[in-house]
């Protein structure tokens, strides 16, 4: 599933000099076509509630039938848990929609840099202008949340206390937005690249960039909603742990650090997103709508709530926690720096580079201009400098390491914390294959030449 982690890192190798053209790529049935996408939609709903039930009633462990004869009562118990603990409430709705409203308001009024997206062929090569104020919004949101928490007006623990009802509110809203967007697009005759398979087209989307005023809702939901909401769900778990036990454990501090770093990276690099493949090509359908409004925050926060359910006793040796922090910071450096190298060069090539002072700015994030390039027959160039001289998908490898660290922070007593890195690994492999198939089709023999120079796909000198 595509999500915002990849909005910053899509497009296989760094692509420069030439703008992508839609006509070079035919619409293909992905994710198993209509049947596969229908199954993904069903499984996504089941997964969300299964993980929540595990947290709310089984201390994060996988609830399974005790025997074959228990299968019927088992499903009855699960449904009973949902009715008892996840029925939507006005309080949960107020929290969720209050958050969305605050983020949308900030998207309109906060100061930021203005950047232009790529020319969109389906809109007559129109270049939309984006106000990228995510970093300011992020800081204002943190300050507002801190003020509300310490004043007692709205404590961070409210998110944790209303997690089940808020999940259902988000599920209902995500589905309604998906249906409305699809139907409204068809009625307005704004659909593009349709396959004729209704379920599949609903899943992948009918519209490219739905704007509400000056805000691109696809970019807004991918950046502002999914990751900031995830961070506050984790912050709520940490606040709840402190309320219950008077301390915050090192595994919880690790998760708070990991989610904070990732959210901050999405905000400080927002101006790079309007020119990515996600915005230029991926349509806004159920996959992106539902998973960014619901899936990313509610699934990815599982590890934080698993740690909350384990109490506050330290169950890792200090050396092990030190190793996890070392791996996290090292992988983050590679991930953040490699994408900065790519995105800043792209901006320089187009004359759109804006030097930012957003924190943290990593060493070696800006390559010496001009960097080493591989010229291609279609007039474009592929970057073979910096981290991109060593592996074509080095940022994906770093992403997988970070995801694995999230699971390792939970220990080894349960299997569900390891569901996320497994899911993410499958998703990122699928994403990598899509990227490279597009590049092979676009560059032909030049792509073969590129892969002979940058031989490794993920980890230099390994694979």
Q: Cβ atoms within 10 A of the Cβ of 136, count?
A: 16
Write down the pLDDT at residue 3: 46
Short-list 28, 29, 30, CA closest to 2: 30
Q: Which residues contact 414 (CB under 8 A, 6 or more apart)?
A: 60, 61, 62, 306
Q: Which residues contact 139 (CB under 8 A, 6 or more apart)?
A: none
Q: What is the pTM of this model?
A: 0.90
Write down the pLDDT at residue 27: 59
DSSP state of 313: S
β-pairing, 15-16 vs 381-383, is antiparallel
Q: Which two tokens stand for residue 233?
A: 């769900």
Only one residue has tokens 């699809």, namely: 182
Instruction: Report residue 25: phi and psi, to 5°.
Output: -120, 125
State pLDDT tens for residues 217-235. Answer: 999 999 999 999 999 999 9
Q: Which two tokens stand for residue 107?
A: 């998207």
DSSP string, 388-424: GGT-TTHHHHHHHHHHHHHHHTT-SS-SGGGHHHHHH
Q: Helix H segments across 110-248?
A: 134-151, 157-161, 163-187, 198-204, 217-220, 226-245
CA–CA separation, 407 vs 421, rounded Å? 7
Q: What CA–CA distances, in Å, run from 245 to 53, 309, 318, 362?
A: 23, 11, 20, 36
Does the bond joining 360 to the residue before it have cis omega, within 30 degrees of 0?
Answer: yes
Q: Which residues contact 172 (CB under 8 A, 6 or more apart)?
A: 88
CA–CA separation, 87 vs 389, rounded Å? 52
Q: For residue 400, is pLDDT > 60? A: yes
CA–CA separation, 387 vs 331, rounded Å? 13
Q: Which residues lie across from 131 on neighbouring strands?
A: 114
Buried b vs exposed e over 361-376: b needs ≥16 C-beta within 10 Å? Answer: ebeebbbeeebebbeb
Helix (H) or strand (E) holding 46: helix 33-58
Write down the pLDDT at residue 127: 84
CA angle 327, 330, 332 (to 5 degrees): 105
Q: Which two tokens stand for residue 49?
A: 């509630």
User: How far is CA 382 from its chain centroid?
Assistant: 26
CA–CA separation, 277 vs 271, rounded Å? 14
Q: Helix H segments across 223-317?
A: 226-245, 250-268, 277-280, 286-290, 296-300, 302-309
State pLDDT tens for residues 437-454. Answer: 888 888 888 899 999 999
Query: Could you tell me the residue ranges of all domains in the chain?
Result: 4-453
State pLDDT tens for residues 240-260. Answer: 999 999 999 999 999 999 999
Q: What is the CA radius of gyration of the chain?
A: 22
The pLDDT > 70 percentage for the chain reads: 94
Write down the pLDDT at residue 20: 40
State pLDDT tens for residues 410-447. Answer: 999 999 999 999 988 998 888 888 788 888 888 888 89
CA–CA separation, 113 vs 426, rounded Å? 35
Q: How confident is the model at residue 379 (pLDDT cuts 50, 70, 90)?
A: confident
State pLDDT tens for residues 155-204. Answer: 999 999 999 999 999 999 999 999 999 999 999 999 999 999 999 999 99
Q: How confident is the model at residue 8 (pLDDT cuts 50, 70, 90)?
A: very low
Q: For residue 152, is pLDDT > 60? A: yes
């Amino acid at each position: 599933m595509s999500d915002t982690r990849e909005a910053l890192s899509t497009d296989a190798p760094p692509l420069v000099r030439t703008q992508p053209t839609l006509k070079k790529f035919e619409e293909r049935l992905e994710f198993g076509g209509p049947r596969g996408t229908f199954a993904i939609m069903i499984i996504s709903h089941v997964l969300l509630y299964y993980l929540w039930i595990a947290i709310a009633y089984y201390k994060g462990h996988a609830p399974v039938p005790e025997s074959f004869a228990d299968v019927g009562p088992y499903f009855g118990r699960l449904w009973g848990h949902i009715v008892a603990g996840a029925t939507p409430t006005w309080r949960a709705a107020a929290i969720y929609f209050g958050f969305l409203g605050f983020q949308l308001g900030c998207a309109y009024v906060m100061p930021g840099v203005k950047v232009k997206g790529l020319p969109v062929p389906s809109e007559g090569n129109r270049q939309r202008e984006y106000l990228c104020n995510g970093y300011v919004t992020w800081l204002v949101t943190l300050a507002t949340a801190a003020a509300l928490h310490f004043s007692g007006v709205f404590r961070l623990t409210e998110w944790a206390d209303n997690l089940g009802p808020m999940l259902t509110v988000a599920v209902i809203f995500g589905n309604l937005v998906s249906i409305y967007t699809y139907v409204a697009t068809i009625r307005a005759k704004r659909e593009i690249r349709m396959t004729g398979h209704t379920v599949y087209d609903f899943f992948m989307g009918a519209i490219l960039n739905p704007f509400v005023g000056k805000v691109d809702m696809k970019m807004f939901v991918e950046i502002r909603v999914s990751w900031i909401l995830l961070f506050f769900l984790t912050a709520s778990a940490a606040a709840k742990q402190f309320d219950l036990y008077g301390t915050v454990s090192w595994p919880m501090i690790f998760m708070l650090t990991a989610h904070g770093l990732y959210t901050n990276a999405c905000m400080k690099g927002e101006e790079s997103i309007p020119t990515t493949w996600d915005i230029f090509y991926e349509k806004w359908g159920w996959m992106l709508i539902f998973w960014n409004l619901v899936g990313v925050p509610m699934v990815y926060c599982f590890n934080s709530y698993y740690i909350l359910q384990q109490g506050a006793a330290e169950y890792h040796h200090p050396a092990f926690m030190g190793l996890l922090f070392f791996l996290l910071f090292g992988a983050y450096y590679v991930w953040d720096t490699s994408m900065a190298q790519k995105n800043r060069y792209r901006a320089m090539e187009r004359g759109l580079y804006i030097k930012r002072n957003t924190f943290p700015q990593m060493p070696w994030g800006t390559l010496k201009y001009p960097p080493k390039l591989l010229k291609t027959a279609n007039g474009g160039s592929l970057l073979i400098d910096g981290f991109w001289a060593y592996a074509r998908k080095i940022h994906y490898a770093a992403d997988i390491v970070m995801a694995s660290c999230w699971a390792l922070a939970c220990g080894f007593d349960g299997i569900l914390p390891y569901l996320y890195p497994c899911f993410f690994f499958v998703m990122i492999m699928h994403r990598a294959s899509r990227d490279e198939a597009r590049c092979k089709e676009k560059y032909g023999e030049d792509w073969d030449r590129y892969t002979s120079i940058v031989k490794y796909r993920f980890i230099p000198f390994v694979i």
